[in-house]
Chains A and B, each alone.
Chain A
Amino acid sequence: MSTNQKLVMQAKGLVKRYGHVTALDGTDFELRAGEILAVIGDNGAGKSSLIKALSGATIPDEGEILLDGKLINFRSPIDARRAGIETVYQDLAVAAAMSISENLFLGRELRRLGFLGNWLRMLDKKKMLQESIARMQELKVGIRSMTQPVETLSGGQRQCVAVGRAAAFAQHVVIMDEPTAALGVKEGNMVLDLIRRVRDRGLPVVLISHNMPHVFEVADRIHVARLGKRAAVLNPKKISMSDTVAVMTGAMPADKIPAECLAH
C-alpha cells in the first residue's frame, strides 16, 4: 500500500473514560481507501472502545473523527449508518425466523408505489427479493432461495448474510467486529473470502479479530492497540505472527520494531 492513498476515515487523539478507567488514551486511527485494516489488541487494549467510537455506539470524551476529511459527530449507531458506515457483529445479528431477503432490508424496507404503498403502506416484497438476489450475486454468495428463513442456514452462511447486508448498504466503510469468532474453520474461511470480495469491490474494511491466522490471511495493514493508544501499524507481509503478538503484548516496544515491518 502506498502512502499517498486517500484516507477514508481518520481519528485523532480519541479519549474515552469509564469512571476512573481510561479505555482510550489519545488513540489515533487511519483507514485508507480499498484496504482491509485489521485492528488487534489484548483484552483491555482499547480496541472495542475504538470500534464503538467509530461506529457510533459510544461518544468519545475527547478527540475528533473524520470521514472523507469531514468532521463527524455520531450520537448513535444509526447516525453512523446514515453516514455510510455499516457494522457487522460477531454474534450473528440476524432475525432467525425471517427470510434472508427480509433480513437484508430490515429497517430500510421498500414500499410499493401509489395507493398500496402510500396509503396501505404495503411492502414491495418482489422488488426487495430481486434486489437481494442481485446484491448477493454481486458478492458471489451462492443463493438458492432468498425467501428461506435465516435459521435454516449454518452459522457461516448467516454471517455471510450479515456481511452481505453491510456491504450492500455501506457507502463508505464496513466495520466487522470478530466476524469469524463464532465460526468453525471452513465457515470462517467462507466469511474471509467474502470480506476480500467486499474490499475488492472498493469498500474499505475494518476487521477486528483475535484470530492471528485470519488477520494475516486478509489484512493489508494491522493496527495494534495497546494501553488505550495505537502502538504501531504493521505490515503483515514483512512482520512475523510472533513479532506481532510481541508488539501487542508489549514484549517488543514500538521503537524496537524493524522499520521495514511498519506499514506506511
Chain B
Amino acid sequence: MNTTSTPAMLPPLTWKEKLPSIGTLGTLIALLLACLFFATQSDRFLTSENFSLVLQQVMVVGVIAIGQTLIILTAGIDLSCGMVMALGGIVMTKLAVELGLPAPLAILCGIGVTAAFGLVNGLLVTKIKLPPFIVTLGTLNIAFAITQLYSNAQTVTDLPPAMTWLGSTFRIGGTSVAYGVVLMLLMYLGMWFWLRETAAGRHVYAVGNNPEATRLTGIATERVLLGVYVLAGVFYGVAALLSVARTGVGDPNAGQTENLDAITAVVLGGTSLFGGRGVILGSLIGAVIVGVLRNGLTLMGTPSVYQVLITGILVILAVAIDQLSRKGGR
C-alpha cells in the first residue's frame, strides 16, 4: 500500500542543543566576571561578611523576581510589582501597628492585598484580553496612589518584633545569614521544582510558547495565566514582608528601585521576554548580579547614578542577546 516507506528522519542532537540554556550560562559567567572585577578594586569585596550583606540586599528583589519570572514565562510582564509590594508592606504594618492585629494575621492581610492585585492584573489580561504591559502600567500607578493615600505618605514605625524577625541573622561558621535569605532560597528551590517537574509548571511554559496550541490540547490556558498572576502577587506580598523586616519600617516609598531591578534580574537571568523559555534559578543569579553591581560600585565610591546607568545598559544587552539567540533557533 505504501509507495514509499522512508521514515521521517529527525536530525541528531548537536552539542549546542545538549548545553543547558545559553542564557543561564551567560548569566553565571557575567556574575563571575563582575565578582573578579570588584575583587581587584576593593579589598572588602571578597569577604564573607560582604557577601552576606549582598544577599540581604538582594532578598527583596530576588523574591519579587520569582513572581516576575512566572509572568514573563507566559510572555507577559508586570510593571506594577514594586508598587504592589509597597502597598502590601504598608497594609501589613498599619494593620499591626494601628489596629493592633496580631502580626501573622496582619502579614496574611498584606499578602492578601498583593494577591488581589495579582488577581486584578490576571483578570484584565485573561478576560478583557488587554496587553499585560498596559494593564500593569495602570495598576502600577493605582497601587502607588493607594499606598500614598492610605499611609498619608507617612512611614509606619514601632513594628512588632514578629514582623522584623526575617531580617535578623544567625551564624553559620563566621558568616551571618538572614532568615529572609534562607526563605528566599527555599522559595527559589520550590518554584524550580514546580516549574520543572510538575504538569502545572510545564503548562506555564506551554502557555508562553504557544497559547493557542496549548488551549487546543485541552489545557485551561486562562486558568494557568490567572494562577500565575495571583501567585506572583503572593510572592510580592512575601517580598513586602522581607522589605519591612529588612528596613524595620513600613515605607510608602519602598519598591521604586526594586520595580525595575526585578525585571532586570529576570532578563539578566536568561528568561526570554517572548515567553516560554528560561530557568527560574537564572533570575536568582540575575538578582545577585544586580546586587553585586550596586554593592561593588558603592565600595568603589562610585556615585549611585552610575549604578543606574550600568543596570540600564545590562538590561538592553541581555534582551539583545535573547533576541539574537532566538534568530538562530527559529
Q: Which residues does A use to contact B, with CB under 8 Å?
A: 77-78, 81, 87, 89, 93-98, 100, 102, 106-109, 111, 120-123, 125, 140-145, 148-149, 151-153, 156-157, 160, 189-191, 193-194, 196-197, 200
Contacts and interface: CB of A to CB of B under 8 A. Distances in A.
B206 A98 contact: yes
Contact of A141 (B8, B212, B276): B8
B13 interface: yes
Interface stretch (B117-125, B196-204, B297-305): B196-204
Contacts of B214: 95, 106-107
Interface residues of B, number: 35
With a 10 A CB-CB cut-off, give which of B9, B13, B209, B276 has the most chain A CB atoms.
B209
A160 B8 contact: yes
A194 B9 CA distance: 12
Given A196-B1, A200-B1, A95 B7 contact: no
Interface stretch (B127-135, B142-150, B215-223, B288-296): B215-223
B10 A190 contact: no
A96 B276 contact: yes
A95 B198 contact: no
A78 B214 CA distance: 12
Interface of B: 1-2, 4-13, 17, 193, 197-200, 202-203, 205-206, 209-210, 212-214, 216-219, 276-277, 329-330
A196 B5 CA distance: 10
With a 10 A CB-CB cut-off, give which of B10, B17, B216 has the most chain A CB atoms.
B10
Contact of A193 (B4, B10, B330): B4
27 contacts: A78-B218, A87-B216, A95-B210, A95-B213, A97-B277, A100-B10, A106-B202, A106-B206, A106-B214, A106-B217, A107-B214, A109-B202, A111-B199, A121-B198, A122-B197, A140-B5, A141-B7, A142-B7, A144-B12, A149-B17, A152-B329, A157-B10, A160-B8, A190-B8, A191-B8, A193-B6, A193-B8
